[in-house]
Structure 1
């Protein structure tokens, strides 16, 4: 991920994060968070998913989130075509997020929601029972000023 800072007369306006996977989107669409135009006839899997989400009237933020999780799932499983997508691989991906990536439980739930939508609504596949390892809920212990170590 790279960071671009726009400047007008030497004053930075807004930091815009750009990703490799959406570099085909013009800068105006990225900066303003406006959905980019997508052809309903596009052969790309992600474009077809975007068109499906938009046809259901879902929020653009949901579209971006679900497409990002679908992309991560596809890359994790090294799929080459959408015919290879298998709902049985969801459990392995969620375990990877919890164990190897140390993600939060809410991140794991978001990924699960995106993948359930992908398989049930978009692909029309049934999802098997999932017995995945839940992410560990980490809490940072609060310290009071009396018990906190002195600052150095």
Structure 2
């Protein structure tokens, strides 16, 4: 997992990434700022250095899944609404105790009877996911 970054005018590029047991940052730029090139991007320059380093650093290490800290719940949510996703759709998000989206919620103006009242909604099949993610969180 990781994130790229590029400054204005491509004067600096970086990539910061990690595995469950190792975090690495790669920075490229000049001491006296000047462009690395018109089309320079972190994905083009810094990310390959990160990839090559991690391949060497982890080549003799067993695959290690990302560990979920105690108390954290992994819940599928709808990326458009942030509410629990029904069924297998949505994206997996991590929540601290007491911060997960509710099991049901009200939609104002959705009562369907013309009153403008609220309709209580519960997503179909919403559930916490604690395993079976293959180490990808």
Instruction: Give the greater-gyration-radius structure (CA).
Output: 2
TM-score w.r.t. length of structure 2: 0.20
Specify which structure has the higher proportion of strand: 2
Specify which structure has the higher proportion of helix: 1
TM-score w.r.t. length of structure 1: 0.19
Bigger relative contact order, structure 1 or 2 (CA pairs below 8 A, ≥6 apart): 2
